[in-house]
Chain A
Amino acid sequence: MPRPSRTAYPLSWRLLDAAEAVVGAMRPKRPEIVVPALFLAPAILLVAVLVWGLAGMVGDSLHVLDTATFLPAAEASLGNYAQLADRPIYATVIRRSLVAGVIVTAATLLLAFPYAYVMVRTSSSGLRRLLLIGLFLPFFIGQVVRAYGWLIILGNKGIVNAAITALGFEPLKLIYTYETILFGLVQYMLPFAVLLIAPAITAISEEMEMAAASLGANWWRGFTTVVLPLARPGLIAAGVVVFTLTLTDFAIPNILGGGTNDFAANAIYDAFFRISDAGLGAALALVLTFIGSTIVGVILAIAGAGTLGLGGRAGK
């Protein structure tokens, strides 16, 4: 039988056949283990870069700065952790970050839920699109530009103070305060929270709300007894994400706070770049990681894991 002409099959088919032949030749004895492992390998290697870096930090945190040579001391010790415990500034910084986490999470969830609800429930696709764009535009613009915008708005000669002085009042000090940092963080966190809550609301059948209404519940009662409990997974996921991002944020406390109300991340940065104490900075970074992970772990243990949405069908 003569060989088929080279043009008898499209090039793409022949390439595909070649690929099949290669894969077939390499077929492992247990494909159900090898193939998933091959698919996962690149991602595992990527995260390994992070793990490797963190492992190095653990080592660094065990070496105290020798103030005679300004190099890390040769012998390993827990001296850096002892310093963290001894110096009041670090407890203050961590407490400030934790309090901010709680306040920002509560405020953000309060503001995000109605937005997500209207976005999901509206019958107007134009309005839904507007709300989605209103969400994504700041999300895609990033932290630095948004913080810059707030500096312009809230600065001593900004739009807010311009309005206040036009009304005959004294200008207010609105930037470089703790309250401004909290406000900037709430604004920054809103898109994250809405995007995590919205799918949970989508999963709630609108007929459930109608059933509550037809049984006599007013809208507030229906909201608190039907919608909120069913949206709980989304609220928990949003709460966890907003809390951890706030606890560990660097840019907004730095830009809107102007160095007046440092968060933990700012203190870590200063340890490395202002006082050149890498060991102390590494220790504080690891303590922050531990605190954040512990809080998230406790919340997920109580609320049930899987709310962060990575659980696929195979995981159920």
Chain B
Amino acid sequence: MSAASTSPRGKRLVLWAVVGFDLLILALPTLIVLGASFTAGNIVTFPPDGLSLQWYEKVVGAYELRQAFWRSLWVAVVCTLISLPAGTLAAIALARWRIAFGRSLQVYLLLPFTVPLIASGIGMMLLFGRIGILGQLWPVGLACAVINLPFMIWAVGASVNGLDPDLENAAANCGAPPVQTFLTVTLPAVMPGVITGALLMFVLAFNEFLVSLLLVDARIVTLPVLIYNSIRSVITPDLAAVSVVYIVVAALAIRALDRLVGLDLFLRSK
């Protein structure tokens, strides 16, 4: 084995020291929340006061928590339904066709990223108040779709850029008219990006905190806002059990992503 193909010990040492530290700080909050959710004590302390499932019982029985959970799910569904078609079509248009003012359009479509989230949230809060839809739940989903749209465009754009234009030309050459080509060639080819984007939109909207905080009122709090309001008072183990909902949703999303498109997708360059 040549020396060039073996990483020097110093290199491996430095790389793994940093990677180990990264993994530690990435994983620690999740592991601690999981652990705290099983404590038998009434407050979160270390070492824990024995093990118990009491906080899960309490959480399942709490009406307000269940309502907040379903509201967050609904917000996530609305966000995904709005942003999936908008982002998919926009990504296909930007990547496939030479568009006048294309550069300006890209800058425009990146506005949700360049505008601070607090400004976006307050701007939409004032707008929704003005037109009288503030205090409902579906505008929260709409707002989440707006602020996360660049993610959807990025996810589908990566797939479109990987698509060989000759495939569409071949279909047309075999006699397929435009709609059939789009539905049977273009759309299936970008489906990995669409799936990735949809999962991202769903999870980001389910987790969305600041925009939800600005747009919901006391009657329709979503789960992140409810957890936030509770954190501001006292840290209790039932919050840990609620937070496990997020860990489960995150784990399910990762599994779906891995099964449907493979996590390696995120390592590919264009």
Chain A positions 238 through 262: 1 when the CB is less than 8 Å from some CB of chain B, otherwise 0: 0001001001111100010000000
Chain B positions 22 through 57: 1 when the CB is less than 8 Å from some CB of chain A, otherwise 0: 110111111011001000000111110000000000
**B179 near A285: Cβ-Cβ < 8 Å:** no
**B157 near A198: Cβ-Cβ < 8 Å:** no
**A310 near B150: Cβ-Cβ < 8 Å:** yes
**A265 near B267: Cβ-Cβ < 8 Å:** no
User: Hey, which chain A residues are within 8 Å of B103, CB to CB?
Assistant: 305, 315
Say if the beta carbon of B61 comes within 8 Å of chain A: no
- The residue of chain B having its C-beta at the shortest distance from the C-beta of A150 within the complex is B29
Stretch from A1-9, A37-45, A80-88 contacting the other chain: A37-45
| Given A36-B93, A47-B108, A314-B102, residue A20 in contact with residue B115 (CB < 8 A) | no
| Given A114-B18, A118-B15, A140-B250, residue A56 in contact with residue B123 (CB < 8 A) | yes
Cβ of A220 to closest chain B Cβ, rounded Å: 8
| Given A149-B28, A195-B266, A312-B157, residue A285 in contact with residue B7 (CB < 8 A) | no
User: Hey, which chain B residues are within 8 Å of A265, CB to CB?
Assistant: 116-118, 210
| Given A23-B178, A157-B46, residue A218 in contact with residue B8 (CB < 8 A) | yes
**A203 near B269: Cβ-Cβ < 8 Å:** yes
CB neighbors of B among A203-221 (8 A): 203, 210, 213-214, 218-220
Say if the beta carbon of B124 comes within 8 Å of chain A: yes
Say if the beta carbon of B65 comes within 8 Å of chain A: no
Cβ of B268 to closest chain A Cβ, rounded Å: 6
The docked-state distance in angstroms from the alpha carbon of A43 to that of B157 is 14
**A144 near B228: Cβ-Cβ < 8 Å:** yes
Say if the beta carbon of B89 comes within 8 Å of chain A: yes
Say if the beta carbon of A92 comes within 8 Å of chain B: no
Chain A positions 57 through 82: 1 when the CB is less than 8 Å from some CB of chain B, otherwise 0: 10010000000000000000000000
| Given A162-B46, A195-B266, residue A54 in contact with residue B119 (CB < 8 A) | yes
**B97 near A36: Cβ-Cβ < 8 Å:** yes
From B115, B203, B247, B270, A289 is in contact (CB under 8 Å) with B115
- The residue of chain B having its C-beta at the shortest distance from the C-beta of A206 within the complex is B5
**B149 near A132: Cβ-Cβ < 8 Å:** no
The docked-state distance in angstroms from the alpha carbon of A2 to that of B207 is 60
Q: How many of chain B's residues have a CB under 8 angstroms from any CB in A?
A: 118
- The residue of chain B having its C-beta at the shortest distance from the C-beta of A259 within the complex is B232
CB neighbors of B among A89-126 (8 A): 110-112, 114-115, 117-120
**B46 near A133: Cβ-Cβ < 8 Å:** no
The docked-state distance in angstroms from the alpha carbon of A144 to that of B30 is 12
- The prevalent SS among residues of A at the interface is helix
Say if the beta carbon of A16 comes within 8 Å of chain B: yes
- The residue of chain A having its C-beta at the shortest distance from the C-beta of B94 within the complex is A312
**A251 near B210: Cβ-Cβ < 8 Å:** yes
User: Hey, which chain B residues are within 8 Å of A296, CB to CB?
Assistant: 114
| Given A39-B90, A314-B102, residue A53 in contact with residue B124 (CB < 8 A) | yes
| Given A141-B247, A308-B110, residue A57 in contact with residue B123 (CB < 8 A) | yes
From B94, B122, B264, A281 is in contact (CB under 8 Å) with B122
**A114 near B14: Cβ-Cβ < 8 Å:** yes
Say if the beta carbon of A288 comes within 8 Å of chain B: yes
Say if the beta carbon of A275 comes within 8 Å of chain B: no
User: Hey, which chain A residues are within 8 Å of B154, CB to CB?
Assistant: 309-310
From A43, A186, A200, A313, B89 is in contact (CB under 8 Å) with A43
**B142 near A144: Cβ-Cβ < 8 Å:** no
Which has the most chain B C-beta neighbours within 10 Å: A49, A132, A155, A220?
A: A49
Say if the beta carbon of B19 comes within 8 Å of chain A: yes
- The residue of chain A having its C-beta at the shortest distance from the C-beta of B263 within the complex is A132
From A36, A43, A131, A278, B153 is in contact (CB under 8 Å) with A43
**A46 near B145: Cβ-Cβ < 8 Å:** yes
From B94, B106, B113, B118, A268 is in contact (CB under 8 Å) with B118
| Given A46-B86, A312-B160, residue A138 in contact with residue B179 (CB < 8 A) | no
Say if the beta carbon of A174 comes within 8 Å of chain B: no
CB neighbors of A among B78-113 (8 A): 82-83, 85-87, 89-100, 102-103, 105-106, 108-113
From A149, A199, A310, B94 is in contact (CB under 8 Å) with A310
**A315 near B106: Cβ-Cβ < 8 Å:** yes
From B110, B115, B158, B228, A255 is in contact (CB under 8 Å) with B228
Cβ of A175 to closest chain B Cβ, rounded Å: 10
Cβ of A139 to closest chain B Cβ, rounded Å: 8
Cβ of A13 to closest chain B Cβ, rounded Å: 9
The docked-state distance in angstroms from the alpha carbon of A142 to that of B202 is 12
Cβ of A217 to closest chain B Cβ, rounded Å: 11
Cβ of B153 to closest chain A Cβ, rounded Å: 7
CB neighbors of A among B120-171 (8 A): 120, 122-127, 130, 142-143, 145-147, 149-150, 153-154, 157-158, 160-161
The 3 A-B pairs at the shortest CB distance, nearest first, are namely A149-B29, A53-B123, A142-B207
Cβ contacts A to B, 28 pairs, < 8 Å: A20-B177, A20-B179, A23-B178, A35-B97, A39-B92, A39-B93, A40-B105, A43-B109, A46-B82, A118-B19, A132-B267, A136-B253, A136-B254, A137-B30, A138-B29, A139-B250, A140-B253, A141-B207, A142-B207, A142-B208, A152-B36, A155-B235, A162-B45, A202-B268, A219-B7, A250-B117, A268-B119, A310-B157
Add 5 more A-B contacts to A54-B119, A141-B29, A195-B266 (CB < 8 A). A33-B100, A53-B127, A128-B264, A159-B46, A309-B158
